[in-house]
Amino acid sequence: MRILAFAISLVFVFSACSEAQKGESGQVTSGPMPILGAPETILTCFMDYQDLDERRANCIGQYTEVCTSQSQNQTTHGMTQCASRENQAWMAQLEEISSEILSNLDENPTLAFENAQTAWQAYNEANCRFEISIFEGGSITSVIYAGCMNRATAERAIELIQWRENYQSY
């Protein structure tokens, strides 16, 4: 059911992109097509790659890469914003899968899952702070931090998707 809803939403996204390409005459104009938003990029990539390892290899960072290739995003601020937008989309995926998992767990596993998520968040923050520590004071720290958080969040979302698929009867 979710795949059908997603497919329908993609039709609207692609038709919106097509509409964005049309000039005043109603004809499709030449030039680059607007890039998809981060959530749409992730969902499209998930449709292209069903295997979780392929999703890791191809979907993490895909939006950021396309976004930062745009000339207006080739600044420190632009790169940070691109990675942050992708991270927000992965966070939405993570929250959705976490809610789904929690809704199917009893009390003890729920507490264990919540503790694991809290520990994961603390580790993520500490690890990404460590990653930027060698660049302290440099303008690149925001780009590296945003990229680190994006990768970690995406990895966790994919990890929980895999967990759900392996333990569907939980």
What is the arithmetic mean of pLDDT over 37-65? 91
Query: Is pLDDT of 92 > 60?
Result: yes
Residues in the chain, total: 170
pLDDT band, residue 11 (cuts 50/70/90): very low
Mean per-residue pLDDT, 26-38? 58
Q: Is residue 39 assigned to a domain?
A: yes
User: If you average pLDDT over residues 37-60, what whole number do you get?
Assistant: 90
Helix axes 52-59, 38-48, angle to 10 degrees: 140
Indicate the angle between helix axes 107-133 and 76-103, nearest 10 degrees. 170
Q: What is the pLDDT of residue 52?
A: 85
Model confidence at 169: pLDDT above 80: no
Residue found under tokens 């499209």: 44
For position 110, which CATH number holds? 1.20.1270.180
Dist. CA 160–CA 170, nearest whole Å: 13
Query: Are 17 and 34 in contact, with CB atoms under 8 Å apart?
Result: yes
Q: Is residue 156 part of a domain?
A: yes
**Tens of pLDDT along 127-167?**
999 999 999 889 999 999 999 999 999 999 999 998 888 87
Residue 55, domain member (yes or no): yes
Count of structural domains, the chain: 1
At 99, the pLDDT band (50, 70, 90 cuts) reads very high
Span of 21-30, 38-47, 48-57, 90-99 with lowest mean pLDDT: 21-30
Residue 26 within any structural domain of the chain:
no
DSSP state for residue 6 in the 8-state scheme = H
State the residue range of the domain holding 149.
2-20+32-166
143 located within any domain: yes
Higher pLDDT, 29 or 152: 152
Percent of the chain exceeding pLDDT 70 equals 78
For the chain, give the percent of residues with pLDDT over 90. Answer: 60
